[in-house]
A and B are shown apart, each in its own frame.
Chain A
């Protein structure tokens, strides 16, 4: 069974930090890029960040650049998102998703259920 399981979400004050994790099972990720995509409940999809298969190519949405850092550990089949200087507008469900190719940016063929991040004072 394919599973992408995110964790690390929660409630945090503006200016705070969180580290999201995504653990993958049932499929390989060594030859695939990985993405973080967020969605405010009831709203559309927003791509946040992507990383290629090796980790040496990373991209960020302008809205998070300089505040978020994506990383991966292929041995642990895991993806991470370090989120600093959080803002109320970062409140959303954060999904990890596998990229169908080794690239950081391409179509996403498997998605996790997501973890909710709420930034509120």
Chain B
């Protein structure tokens, strides 16, 4: 099975900062990658699918890029409501494995 890793595991940033999270697949997955945001005490919400397509309603400060094995989620200007754990998920084939998550909080 394809393994998913994320870095960093956690980060602290200030409001307005640019934040980048990396997700790596142990095998190529073309662009079958999704990003989710899970705020404390809430269920996950889909942010991005197909590596770079923004889900409807998601603020444009979120963006995704990458293909093959290396992917990034970027928040161009961190807002207080972006405090959350972010997960990547590959879905080119079963099992659709999640990454271990990256916790983002405010400095």
Contact = CB atoms under 8 A, between A and B. Distances in A.
Contact of B101 (A44, A59, A109, A114): A44
Nearest to B100: A44
A46 B46 contact: no
A92 to B, nearest CB: 13
Given A107-B49, A107-B89, A109-B46, A44 B94 contact: no
A113 B41 CA distance: 10
Interface string B80-98: 0000000101010111111
Contact of B43 (A50, A61, A95): A95
Interface residues of A, number: 21
Given A47-B89, A47-B95, A100-B46, 17 more contacts: A44-B87, A44-B98, A44-B100, A45-B36, A45-B44, A45-B87, A45-B89, A50-B94, A59-B94, A62-B95, A105-B93, A106-B91, A106-B96, A107-B89, A108-B36, A108-B44, A111-B45
Interface of A: 35, 44-47, 50, 59, 61-62, 95, 100, 104-109, 111-114
29 contacts: A35-B96, A44-B87, A44-B98, A45-B87, A45-B89, A45-B98, A46-B98, A47-B89, A47-B95, A50-B94, A61-B95, A62-B1, A95-B43, A95-B44, A100-B46, A105-B91, A105-B94, A105-B95, A106-B49, A106-B96, A107-B46, A107-B89, A108-B34, A108-B36, A108-B44, A108-B46, A109-B46, A111-B44, A112-B43
Interface of B: 1, 34, 36, 38, 43-46, 49, 55, 87, 89, 91, 93-101
